[in-house]
Amino acid sequence: MAEKLIKGKEKKEIPVSDFTTCDSTAKMITKARLDGVELQFDRAANMKACPIGADSACCKHCAMGPCRLNAKDPYGKVGVCGATIDTIMSRNFARMVAAGGAAHTDHGMNMLDLFREVIHGKVKDYKIKDTVKLESVAKSIGIETDGKTVKEIALELYSELERTYTQVEGEIPFAKRVPEKTLETWRKYDIVPRGAMREIMDLMHRSHMGVDQHYENITKQCSRTALADGWGGSMVATEISDILFGTPSPVAIETDMGVLKEDHVNIIVHGHEPNLFESMIESVHESTLIDAAKAAGAKGLNLVGMCCSGLEVFNRHGVPHAGNFSSTEAVLVTGAVDAMTVDVQCIQQGLVKVADCYDTPLITTNTRCHIEGAQHVQFDEQDPKDCTDNVVIKAISRFKNRTAKVDIPQNISIGVHGFSHEYISYMLGGSFRGSYKPLNDNIINGRIRGVAGVVGCTNPRVKQDSVHVELVKELIKNDVLVLQTGCSQVALAKAGLTTPEAAHLAGPGLKEVCETVGMPPVLGLGACVDNSRILVAASEMVRVGGLGDSLADLPVAGCAPEYMSEKAICIGQYFVASGVYTVFGVTFPITEGTKFHKHLFEELEEQGFGKWGFAVGAQEIAKLMIAHIDKKRQALGLDKARERVLMDMADRRAMDDAA
């Protein structure tokens, strides 16, 4: 067994109940401590966050520095080059947006590359699965589809969508999906995105030493780059994944570590790109590999997802899910994982040591992500099963020679997930009249107060899942319909809030709508790249009418209460630039009381965009989001309608009581 990684006395031991509200993860943290294995929670407890970095008051963009300013006296000092706190913070923020946007857009471009190779018949293991989606995406950007073959439409769609990345001038294709008034605002401020490569390059250039030194101008390019992600790279990733692998529709799925099976060969896929997982599904259904697993003494092969990889196939194929980002090390402590295979994004380097401690092969598969100490088996779309069969063989071998004691927390929640924006329309309007009109009508009549997107990561600096779950409970209790993606969705799935029965936790108006339609009050839309589905849903709400002319008019708000990644910052910025009030928790990489802070938190809204918000704690965040939703209702003249509905409900309850 493992070398002792926790040295006991020198390291802080914080009660496990302070780390997480996930029972399975808590059990595994306790076990890890007994086994002498260190996890992200212990590392966070023993790594004080750098206060200067947390305030974004430092710059290392050139060798005259690094320069440190004082956040307590932000205008008391400048960098060696004369850079002010606003320049330094906005450049740091810009580089987070650029890195986060690059991650999503590179993922999207990879999906588009695969699409091209499939159309040309060069990759034969994948095919176009959803031709209805192919046609609807093509039509949405003005491609004529009548009388054309699937291949002809696909070829045209490919060449149009390639512009999402490479276009040097002009507007990207999905700008056609943006409500006209929102687009007008973007045009006025010259932030309609060109290709993502151009925008990211521009942002990296202007955040170099001695280029853009006005925080307002830097913010403009942050918005343009982030929009190139949300309405570009990410949206292409989602739409092409749907075309290739199928558009999700609701399915009941098991979540939590109890999905591991002691008597099976357990294989976990963790990361983000669906192509690896799709091939892994093929491999675990290969009869020769199933026979090999049985010959090794297992009852079969058990494929399980984690993080956003898990969410990609969770919805499409009903593959069970073991947990979110902060559980990726903890799940290895069960001793039951016979292989963990990873591709890109949110793969902690700490996994290597933990996997080693429990003799689990940790297998990297992507050219962009090798990890020192992990095994690498290259994944190639030309022959994907060469990699995934190999992973299964390694897992069977580990099962046969298991030495680690197996201890699986017996927790499983069953929830309904897979609410693509298409399915929400169908669910509310029926197959012949699929529409967002019933949603808008219920917002207008006040049964639904508004819509919130609660998304994003978990972060060991916050008690895992706690803010996600408490925030969502508070929102639905106040009749706010919640849309979810990413690790947040997994937190709510574990907490049992993604079932239609969870409607009993909703306020009277939302409860009535959920019960009528048979839907949960919390709708899971997929991985973090699928936040683009929320943008499309919101645009549809504007198009249907009655809730204003631009995205900024809608009674909606967004939140990433336990975020950690640069991708989350980029997502936040594209929601803000699209017109959505977006609240982050944990920490915000900006010094308060500065001009840049005021710009992000107040002035952007005055220009017709959304704005940023920040609060720690579920109740405080909920208060901000609900107040914003009410402000938008009031501006739309809907405040009275809601008062009437709530009075009707109260009256009805009073009548029930009297009876």
Among 220, 494, 567, 599, contact with ligand MSK (rule: CB under 6 A): 567
Residue matched to tokens 């009418």: 545
Q: 522: closest CA among 546, 496, 545?
A: 496
**Residue 633's binding partner out of ligand MSK, ligand SF4, none, with CB under 5 to 8 Å set by partner kind:** none
CA angle 341, 489, 564 (to 5 degrees): 70
**Residue 325's binding partner out of ligand MSK, ligand SF4, none, with CB under 5 to 8 Å set by partner kind:** ligand MSK
Listed ranges 142-150, 374-382, 538-546, 565-573: which one lies at the site for ligand MSK (CB under 6 A): 565-573
- Contact status: 307 vs ligand MSK (CB under 6 A): yes
If you write DSSP's letter for every residue of 518-582 in order, what string do you get? T--SEEEEESGGGHHHHHHHHHHHHHH-SS-SSGGGSSEEEEETT--SHHHHHHHHHHHHHT-EE
**Residue 6's binding partner out of ligand MSK, ligand SF4, none, with CB under 5 to 8 Å set by partner kind:** none
* Interacting residues of 530 by C-beta distance below 8 A, sequence separation 6+: 234, 238, 311, 485
State which residue, 67 or 559, has the beta carbon closest to ligand SF4.
Answer: 67
Shortest distance, position 315 Cβ to ligand MSK, whole Å: 14
- Contact status: 557 vs ligand MSK (CB under 6 A): no
Tokens of 554: 């809608």
Cα 105 to its chain centre, rounded Å, is 14
State which residue, 33 or 61, has the beta carbon closest to ligand SF4.
Answer: 61
Q: How far apart are the first and last CA of the chain?
A: 67
Shortest distance, position 248 Cβ to ligand MSK, whole Å: 16
- What is the phi-psi region of residue 554: left when phi exceeds 0, alpha when psi lies from -120 to 50, beta otherwise? beta
Shortest distance, position 564 Cβ to ligand MSK, whole Å: 6
Residue 390 Cα distances to 25, 153, 262, 283, 617, angstroms = 29, 36, 21, 9, 45
**Residue 80's binding partner out of ligand MSK, ligand SF4, none, with CB under 5 to 8 Å set by partner kind:** ligand SF4
Shortest distance, position 65 Cβ to ligand SF4, whole Å: 2
Shortest distance, position 591 Cβ to ligand MSK, whole Å: 24
**Residue 346's binding partner out of ligand SF4, ligand MSK, none, with CB under 5 to 8 Å set by partner kind:** ligand MSK
Residue 291 Cα distances to 124, 280, 304, 427, 540, angstroms = 26, 16, 19, 41, 49
Residue 644 Cα distances to 8, 247, 402, 638, 648, angstroms = 61, 39, 64, 10, 6
CA distance linking residue 446 with residue 433, whole number of Å: 22
Q: What is the contact mask toward ligand MSK in residues 249 to 288, using x (rule: CB under 6 A)?
A: -----------------------x----------------
- Cis check for the bond before 361: say yes or no (omega within 30 of 0): no
Q: Are 100 and 566 in contact (CB under 8 A)?
A: yes
- Contact status: 325 vs ligand MSK (CB under 6 A): yes
Site for ligand MSK in 355-394 (CB under 6 A): none
Listed ranges 48-56, 399-407, 510-518, 562-570: which one lies at the site for ligand MSK (CB under 6 A): 562-570
State which residue, 79 or 415, has the beta carbon closest to ligand SF4.
Answer: 79
- What is the phi-psi region of residue 147: left when phi exceeds 0, alpha when psi lies from -120 to 50, beta otherwise? left
Give the footprint of ligand SF4 on this chain (CB under 6 A).
59-62, 64-67, 79-81, 83, 88, 209
> Which residues on adjacent β-strands are paired with residue 302?
266
- Contact status: 476 vs ligand MSK (CB under 6 A): no
- Contact status: 533 vs ligand MSK (CB under 6 A): no
**Residue 486's binding partner out of ligand MSK, ligand SF4, none, with CB under 5 to 8 Å set by partner kind:** ligand MSK
State which residue, 67 or 497, has the beta carbon closest to ligand SF4.
Answer: 67
- Contact status: 565 vs ligand MSK (CB under 6 A): yes
- Contact status: 487 vs ligand MSK (CB under 6 A): yes
- Contact status: 223 vs ligand MSK (CB under 6 A): no
CA distance linking residue 239 with residue 120, whole number of Å: 19
State which residue, 98 or 564, has the beta carbon closest to ligand SF4.
Answer: 98
- Contact status: 104 vs ligand MSK (CB under 6 A): no
Shortest distance, position 527 Cβ to ligand MSK, whole Å: 6
What is the binding site for ligand MSK (CB under 6 A)? 272, 307-308, 324-325, 346, 456-457, 486-487, 527-528, 565, 567-568
